[in-house]
Structure 1
Amino acid sequence: MIIRPSAERGRAQLSWLNSQHSFSFGHYYDPRHQGFSHLRVINDDRVAPGGGFAPHGHRDMEIISYVRSGTLAHRDSLGTEEHIQAGEFQLMRAGSGIQHSEFNASSSEPVHFMQIWIEPAQRGLPPSYQQRAFAAQDGLQAVITPDGANGTLQIAQDATLYRWQGSRLDYQPAAGRWVYLQVLEGTLANAEMTLQAGDGLLVREGEALRFDGHGEALLFDLPAE
């Protein structure tokens, strides 16, 4: 297990954006942190009132947004116009090509969201858009899966994203699987380590995760490379 400390993440600071990067992104480059399995981007973004990302294009990437607070306004070349509220997940498939923009929908309150990119298993898929709110529950809750089972958002990759909330995290990955844990708030601890908000944990070789604490985290179950 390798800790990715919050304080060592890359940073982008603009008049309207405060962003922290777990992996190389934009002007931040670190050859030690280029991604993990098919996970390529975890950005912790805070956008000032009225600020946002102007229309721009992507191809062949599964792009996930999880809004922590505030409201994010989304538009894309599919004709989608949505407001993503706190607690909601969005999954946009860039596929063969899509133009999109994200803006803070409020003129007075900031928006805080996680931006995540995962490489798809197949290139050139038709672009698509999914969005859903998941009722809060204790423990691990699947929100994005390869088959879209039980109302989860469906991703074009052998990857599952869980949201964890509660006081005990216990997860045993299957053989041949890697896990990335991103702590969003609170503290998780065991005899070997303590993880704080913003910290990441890279787990290889099927090691079990067993932590006590409180807060919220995202857990990515990914194929080993």
Structure 2
Amino acid sequence: MLTKIDTAIKYGKQHGGFGIQILYPGLVLPQLNDTGLATIGRIDHARIKAGTLIPMHPHRDDEILTYLRTGSVQHRDSEGLTDVISNQKLMMMNAGANFYHEELVLEEGGVLEGLQIFIRPETAGLKPQVQFHQLQEIYSINQWRRIAGKGDDYPLQIRSNTWIMDIRLEAGSKTFLPEIVAENTVFLFYIFNGEIQVNGDMLLNSGESVLIGTAYPAFTALKTSDIVLFITQTNTAHFDGGMYSGNLQ
């Protein structure tokens, strides 16, 4: 199964210097009657003007990865943590039962572009926690890099069967999906920016993605491209009532 998800399915929001394009990946499969795809609830692709403050606000029962490619953010939360997030320092907020945070886009970092990714936990009411991870390099050139997931070999932990990787695929280079030995595995291959050809016929541009089931396609970069890969299992336990990751239907 190869199902292209173009930008027409996204919901756009713009308020002053704050703009996001929201992807509910389950909408491409209406037979599921779920706006999410198993544990993958929602993906926000954000572009935010420097100096913008996103004031203190709540989250509940979401596992939230902040993945930036440009810009930097001053983070503050109800757990008493403050830190600066950037394209080399990522943050996972495991919101659990009750969590608040605010973000200030710093002037010195310029315009922010990144993803805020809402993942569904296995169950509701978990203890809130916040994790940070310093990347050795901004980009992982032509090689899949583990970012967040369930298991000790992922630097940021997600409390459900979900795994997130990234890669910068240079123009002319080819890659395949990482080998995952598990039943009912599905992949969401998201183009943060660039241009990718799938199996020589399907074309993906910035902001587009492809949902992959049993296929094992080849991906060729027509331009240098930044890619984020989401992996889940269709039969895995998850709570779909989170504040942002939950099913909207």
TM-score (norm 1): 0.89
Q: Percent identity?
A: 22
Q: Aligned-pair distance for 1:201?
A: 1.1
Check the 8 A contact 2:187/2:231 in 1, yes or no: yes
Deviation track 1:6-63 (CA, whole Å, cap 9, x = no partner) reads 2442100111211111128xxxx99947121111111111111221321111111100
User: Following the alignment from structure 1 to structure 2, what is the Cα–Cα distance between the partners of residues 148 and 118?
Assistant: 18
1:223 aligned residue (217, 221, 233): 233
Q: Aligned-pair distance for 1:180?
A: 0.8
Amino acid at match of 2:184: G
SS at match of 1:212: strand
User: Following the alignment from structure 1 to structure 2, what is the Cα–Cα distance between the partners of residues 179 and 108?
Assistant: 32
User: Following the alignment from structure 1 to structure 2, what is the Cα–Cα distance between the partners of residues 157 and 144?
Assistant: 11
Check the 8 A contact 2:161/2:232 in 1, yes or no: yes
Deviation track 1:87-120 (CA, whole Å, cap 9, x = no partner) reads 3321000011101112212278221121100000
Larger displacement relative to structure 2 (41-50 or 7-16): 7-16
Q: How does 1:1-225 map to 2 (within 5 A)?
A: 1-23=2-24, 32=30, 34-106=35-107, 109-134=110-135, 135=137, 136-137=139-140, 138-149=142-153, 152-166=155-169, 167-171=173-177, 172-174=179-181, 175-189=183-197, 190-204=199-213, 206-213=214-221, 214-225=224-235
SS at match of 1:148: coil
User: Following the alignment from structure 2 to structure 1, what is the Cα–Cα distance between the partners of residues 201 and 101?
Assistant: 43
Higher relative contact order (CA 8 A, sep 6+): 2
Q: Aligned-pair distance for 1:133?
A: 2.7
User: Following the alignment from structure 1 to structure 2, what is the Cα–Cα distance between the partners of residues 207 and 108?
Assistant: 40
Amino acid at match of 1:152: P
Question: Which structure has greater strand proportion?
Answer: 1
Check the 8 A contact 1:159/1:221 in 2, yes or no: yes
Check the 8 A contact 1:173/1:221 in 2, yes or no: no
SS at match of 1:158: coil
Larger displacement relative to structure 2 (43-52 or 154-163): 43-52
Deviation track 1:113-149 (CA, whole Å, cap 9, x = no partner) reads 2110000012222111111132232221111120232
TM-score (norm 2): 0.81
User: Following the alignment from structure 2 to structure 1, what is the Cα–Cα distance between the partners of residues 217 and 80?
Assistant: 42
Amino acid at match of 2:122: A
Q: What is the number of equivalent residue pairs in this alignment?
A: 219
CA RMSD of aligned residues (A): 2.1
Larger displacement relative to structure 2 (98-107 or 114-123): 98-107
User: Following the alignment from structure 1 to structure 2, what is the Cα–Cα distance between the partners of residues 164 and 111?
Assistant: 20
SS at match of 1:139: coil
Deviation track 1:130-171 (CA, whole Å, cap 9, x = no partner) reads 11132232221111120232x611110111101122232201
User: Following the alignment from structure 1 to structure 2, what is the Cα–Cα distance between the partners of residues 158 and 56?
Assistant: 27
Amino acid at match of 1:218: V
